[in-house]
A and B are shown apart, each in its own frame.
Chain A
């Protein structure tokens, strides 16, 4: 039973356009959400996070939106760059992440020139 779902295994976006990656969760106890980025043969690296007390967090080209009522979050990348091509994992936790993160299966983002 996947508590964190990324329903798009892959997404192709043209360079310079907006990339929108989506994530849904089922556990209403989750109160902290993160996005990780992963290149081949490397470990996931933290990208951006959001607490459940907020509905938006922005860091440069990356913005995460949280819709608690819909149990949905999204990551926006504007503008998309070739170096953004990677697998993006959505993750969620309870109580700030001290007890581990629950990950989605990932979305492979491909930025086309």
Chain B
């Protein structure tokens, strides 16, 4: 059953606390994306990795957000310190654009973050 797995599904935290979201991409996929969904902006690309190397994190607030891929089976998105405006649903997606054009990204179920 190939799917992207995200944990936790829900997270409520107090402002100022550190939040870590985890993602297990589909086995064999070499590209991992982090998206954030808000009512105002829709789905925004925060960062992505290819073969575990960060390629673009221009969509991410650098001062408080960080994204890493410690190994091929784990991607993390960390917010420190968290703020109420970070409340959103965070999606991880993986894909396998290994020279084949027109591939789509497969999304996880998301982590709903609420910062109070």
Contacts and interface: CB of A to CB of B under 8 A. Distances in A.
Interface of A: 32, 34, 36, 41-46, 49, 51, 89, 91, 95-106
B106 A46 contact: yes
B33 A41 contact: no
Given A49-B102, A97-B104, A98-B97, A43 B91 contact: yes
Interface stretch (B14-22, B38-46, B65-73): B38-46
Given A51-B102, A96-B101, A43 B42 contact: no
B102 A32 contact: yes
B41 A100 contact: no
A34 B107 contact: no
Interface residues of B, number: 28
B34 to A, nearest CB: 10
Contacts of B55: 99
A41 B107 CA distance: 12
Contact of B42 (A32, A46, A103): A103
B4 A46 contact: no
A89 B43 contact: yes
A4 to B, nearest CB: 9
Contact of A100 (B42, B56, B100, B101): B56
Contacts of A95: 101
B31 interface: yes
Contact of B107 (A43, A99, A105): A43
Contacts of B25: none
Contacts of A45: 107
Given A41-B109, A43-B108, A43-B110, A97 B103 contact: yes
Residue from B35, B45, B95, B102 having most chain A Cβ neighbours under 10 A: B102
Contacts of A36: 107
A104 B106 CA distance: 17
